[in-house]
Structure formats: structure tokens, C-alpha cells
Amino acid sequence: MGTLRDLQYALQEKIEELRQRDALIDELELELDQKDELIQKLQNELDKYRSVIRPATQQVQKHSELQEQQRTKRQAISAEPTAFDIQELSHVTLPFNPKSAQSKDLIKEAILDNDFMKNLELSQIQEIVDCMYPVEYSKDSCIIKEGDVGSLVYVMEDGKVEVTKEGLKLCTMGPGKVFGELAILYNCTRTATVKTLTNVKLWAIDRQCFQTIMMRTGLIKHAEYMEFLKSVPTFHGLPEEILSKLGDVLEETHYEDGDYIIRQGARGDTFFIISKGKVTVTREDAASQETVYLRSLGKGDWFGEKALQGNQISCLNTDLITLSTFINCWSYKHLIGGLEDVSSKGSEDAEAKAKYEAENAFFFNLHLSDFNIIDTLGVGGFGRVELVQLKSDEYKTFAMKILKKRHIVDTRQQEHIRSEKLIMQEAHSDFITVQTFKDSKYLYMLHEACLEESCGPIPETRGSFDDSTTRFYTACVVEAFAYLHSKGIIYRDLKPENLILDHRGDFGFAKKIGFGKKTWTFCGTPEYVAPEIILNKGHDISADYWSLGILMYELLTGSPPFSGPDPMKTYNIILRGIDMIEFPKKITKNAANLIKKLCRDTPSERLGNLKNGVKDIQKHKWFEGFNWEGLRKGTLTPPSSPVTSATDTSNFDSFPEDNEDPPPDDNSGWDGDF
């Protein structure tokens, strides 16, 4: 039997145990509260993500019944930023609105706290901060109305607002929060309604200023880099396009006073240009072991160029610099010379020219009334594609894209459509022909009809393609890209759905950008969009090579490597990079190697965009033994069943008739080119 003392001791122990349990319960309760809060926050974010994707998929839903039984066609997104000339961007003066340091901090923190804007560069955030102007609303005002076309992004300085969607409350927001960003970033209508619960003080920035900032940060930096490169004698005589490519691969690095940039004897593979600060070059004397001062370098000076050209060892020993830019040796070697190659590919010989002119004359004399409609080949965002037949020669069939003019005007796509026509004309080759017509309600674009089956998207039941079928399709795209890129045109909407044997192209998102230039249009199909497009950094033909890697992966496995439940998630996964993706076994080592080389995060490192252009892809191990010549001459047997006649549409889905009679366009003249 225990003594009283023992019992007291045991009691004490129990009390202590209980106390510890209580503390644990408190801790867990706190954790639970935090988790609840997190769930609420994530739920909100999820709702927000959902709001963004809805507008992009609306058009698809219109045909939902049809598409339920058929394949799900992924909708491409396009957010043509603004009408202003990119060249002029750097000269646009943005309004400067002075504000207190406290307000500046609040705006900056709000942006960094916003999922959709936190990836902006700090310099961009700084510009937005400077540009924002004050706005005030009284209690019970409607700041944003769901469904409206938005033009302002806000940061809340003071007060409280309520966000609702379809009449249901989503959340309330207080100071330090951004709202109204979705419509501006993703060119959709307002995804929710925002009303004031108190008097509020806001900071606002308009769409135009916002997009100017987004675009020109890259442009100014690039122009600055170009200036540097032009000042380097090693680069004298290099064409502008190549300098521009070099400008793309420059990266800024910062060194503290006293840091070593290159150690004597180390293998040098980097070329530096000093953009700010001073560098001293020293050498250690082997005999005396003393450090001998050689020279000082300052802004605009460069070093490391010898290593760059292959003279392996750089014996510079520098010990002071504040900031420098460098080009990776690898990038340099692969880039120089690349564009001469590309530009020569476009030269057409006399025979091709004569053929082109004869075809042009033939198409020029055709009228709408010369065609019969046979069947519908497809239904898209703007209208439909019909299979038409020449009345005078029923063996001559074409695909006629019929676009509702009013729809084009309503969705502000006039510029887009005009550029599509110009590109079609420029891209005239063996596999693309074009003529356009118009009447008061429609625009008509005549393409070569391709009745072979489009190869995607791959239905669940079919699974994926084998290596050799994928190789064939990929090779077709490589050839088509080589052609388009040689004309300075990027395609931007590669996906299996758009792949039709015999290379028929849909140029809805193609854009002529010219060599060494970039575009800032946010477009493409989410799973195929390259990281630089998501990050609004400006993109060029290398975005097409990224999508080629995605296409290969999807053809080989049945689904694209980066795919989330909605576009925003997909974008986040894309930004993590291809190295985060586990490749299934069915992708062979060589195929995986090619995909990874195409899907490099850095555009200038992508295969296809290096010194040897597409040749690098054609010569890749995965293509070893592939009959490129046969593909070009059309003697290679395609891996799909051929159609039986010029009017056999059995490879296409069936579509209901379109009974809508669209209103005529007010004819403001935008369709003058048609």
C-alpha cells in the first residue's frame, strides 16, 4: 500500500499529465482554427480560379451536348493586349502619382500577396505602385459588376468590400488586398461583383497602364542589353536578329564589393559585360606568388570573351564588381549563326513562284457562288468550317471557314482576323492555299480541304500513339514550323486537335512577328502554353518548340505533361518545369531526351531555337533513320487510313445546322482587306 505521500505524488503526476493534455488540446484547437482559415482561403482561391476559366470555356459549353458524346475540344485563349505599337511603348510616359511611403508599402505587399500578381518582377510592381491613383467610394456602392468589361485593377487602402458571384457571397476584403485583377490579366469579363460595406479608399490602375508596364519592362531591358552588345567589338558586324537573340540570353547578376568573379586558372565559360561598377583584373605571379595588378574595367567593358569563343581557360582574376551581365558560353555557341540559317530557308525558287502565281490567279477569279456546301467539318468559336465543292469541278473540294462578322466585332478580334488572312497569304506553300470572300454578315476563308483525320485529341479508348506514329506527326509539325518560322511567323496554337495530316493549318493564333522580335499576346491552349507566355515576358518562335515537346508527350502518353483541373492550376504546374514531371515508361529514353530539350524553361535554350534551327530536331537521336526526304516529297506512307474520295467526311464529327441569323456588321471598314 502506498503512503499518503505516494498518493499525493501520483495525484501530482496525473494533474501534470492533465495539464499537458489541456495544453495539447489548446494547441490542436489553434491548429484546427488555422486549418479552417486555410481551407476558407483555399476555397476562396479555388472559386477565384474557377471564375477565370469560365469565360474561356463558355464557347465550348455552347456545344456541350454535342461534345459530350464527342471529343472534348480544348479552347484556346487569346488576350490581345492593346492596340499600341510595341516600338512606341518605351516612349509612353506613365502617369506618376505621388503617395506616402506607407501607401507604397501597402500596394506592394498587396500585389505580393495576390496569387495572380505575385510573379511580377519587382521593377514592374514598383511601376504599378508609382502609377496607381487614389479613388474613393462611399458605403453601399458597386465598384465592380459581374459580367462587365473591366478596365481597372484596385488595391484597397482603407475600408471593407464584399465580393459576390451570382448573388452569393464569396468573401469580404479589407485593406491590403488586390481586386479586379482577373478581368485585366486574363481579358475576361468581371468574374464577380464587388460592393462597398463601408466608405473605402482605393488605389487604381487602368488596363492600358498596366499592360504597358507588363510589356515594356522586357522591352526596355532588352534594348539596354542590345546597347551593351553593340558596344562589344567582338559582336561588331553581327546582324540585329542575332544580337537580339543574345540579348534574350543575357542575365543580370550582382556581385558585392570584393567578390571574385573569375578565379585565375578556373575554366571560364561565361562572358561578362559590366553594366554598373568597377572590376580589377589581377594575376598571381607564379614565381613571386604576388598579386600583380593588370587593369581596371568599368561600365560597358567586357571580359571572358576569349573563353566564350572556345579558348577554354580564362585567367582573369578579378576582385571587384558591383553588377554584371553574362551570356552563358553554351548559349553563345549555339546561337551565333542561327538566324542566317533560318532566313535562307524561306527563299522560293522560280518554279515555285510560277506555281504560286498560277494558283493565285485561279483563286482570284472565284466567287462565293462558285461553291456548293457539302458538309460541316467543324464548329469553332467564331463560326463553322464547311466542306465546299467547286460547282465547275466536283473533284475540287475545299474547307471554307465561315466567320460571323458581328461576333468578330463584339469580341474585338478584327485585328486578329486580319492578321490571320495576311499570314495565310504569306504562308502560301504546297500545303496551304487561300482565298477570302465577304458579305454583310460573314467573312469566308477558303483553305485546302484535308479530309484525313485530325489526330487529336486522343480519345481515352485509343490511349496513345506508338513511337513511330508520334514520330510521323511530330515530323509533320517540324516541317510546318520550319516553313512558318522561316517567314517570321509563329504558330502558337499547337495541340493534337489542330493536327491534320497533310499539314493543313488553322492559323487562328498564328502571328507574324519578324525575326528577332517578340509578341506579348496571351494566347494558346493552357496545357500547351510556354512559361514565358504565362509570365508575360514576350515570346517568339521558341514558344512553338515548347509546344512541340508537349505535343510529343501527349501523343505518346494520351495526356499532356502539365495539366491541372483548370487553366490557372495548369499554368502553375507549367511554371514548375518539365524536370518536375515523371515520364512514364512508354516514353523511350530518346523521346524523353528530345521532349526535355524542347521544353527548356529558358526559350533560348530550346532545341529548334539554337544555331542550327530545326536541323537540331531533325538530327536528334529520336528521329534517327526517319525519312525526312520522303515526308517532304509525300512518298512516306502516313500512319492513318486514307480517305476514299474528295467528299468523304467520315473522319469528321457531325455537327448540327446553325440556324442563327447573325446581324450584319455595321461595316465600319475593318474588313477592307477581305
Applying CB under 6 A, the residues found at the interface with ligand CMP are 44, 47-48, 51, 144, 150, 163, 170-171, 179-183, 190-192, 194
Please tell me the distance from the alpha carbon of residue 194 to that of residue 169, in angstroms, as a whole number.
10
Minimum distance from residue 209 beta carbon to ligand CMP (Å): 16
616 is an active site residue: no
Minimum distance from residue 83 beta carbon to ligand CMP (Å): 21
Tell me, rounded to whole angstroms, the distance of Cα 507 from its chain centroid: 17
Pick 189 or 231: Cβ nearer ligand CMP? 189
Please tell me the distance from the alpha carbon of residue 488 to that of residue 277, in angstroms, as a whole number.
38
- Per the annotation, does 381 bind a ligand? yes
Minimum distance from residue 58 beta carbon to ligand CMP (Å): 14
Instruction: Assess contact for 149 and 85: CB atoms under 8 A.
Output: no
Q: What letters, b where the CB count within 10 A reaches 16 and e where it falls short, cover 458-487?
A: beeeeebbeeebbbbbbbbbbbbbbbbbbb
Instruction: Assess contact for 153 and 205: CB atoms under 8 A.
Output: yes
Minimum distance from residue 193 beta carbon to ligand CMP (Å): 7
Pick 181 or 665: Cβ nearer ligand CMP? 181
Minimum distance from residue 568 beta carbon to ligand CMP (Å): 12
∠ CA 327-332-336, nearest 5°, is 140
Pick 164 or 343: Cβ nearer ligand CMP? 164
Instruction: Assess contact for 83 and 217: CB atoms under 8 A.
Output: no
- Per the annotation, does 246 bind a ligand? no
Please tell me the distance from the alpha carbon of residue 634 to that of residue 640, in angstroms, as a whole number.
14
Pick 152 or 403: Cβ nearer ligand CMP? 152
Strand, helix or coil at 203? strand
- Per the annotation, does 437 bind a ligand? no
**CA neighbours within 13 Å on the CB side: how many for 269?**
6
∠ CA 246-251-255, nearest 5°, is 140
Pick 44 or 231: Cβ nearer ligand CMP? 44
- Per the annotation, does 409 bind a ligand? no
Strand, helix or coil at 487? coil
Q: Which residue has the cell 527563299?
A: 347
Minimum distance from residue 375 beta carbon to ligand CMP (Å): 40
Neighbours of 428 (CB within 10 A): 17
- Per the annotation, does 562 bind a ligand? no
Give me the catalytic one of 319, 493, 506, 540: 493
Pick 171 or 409: Cβ nearer ligand CMP? 171
- Per the annotation, does 377 bind a ligand? yes
- Per the annotation, does 401 bind a ligand? yes
Closest CA to 589 of 625, 620, 628, 558: 620
Catalytic residue numbers read 493
Binding site members for ATP: 377-385, 401
Binding site members: 377-385, 401
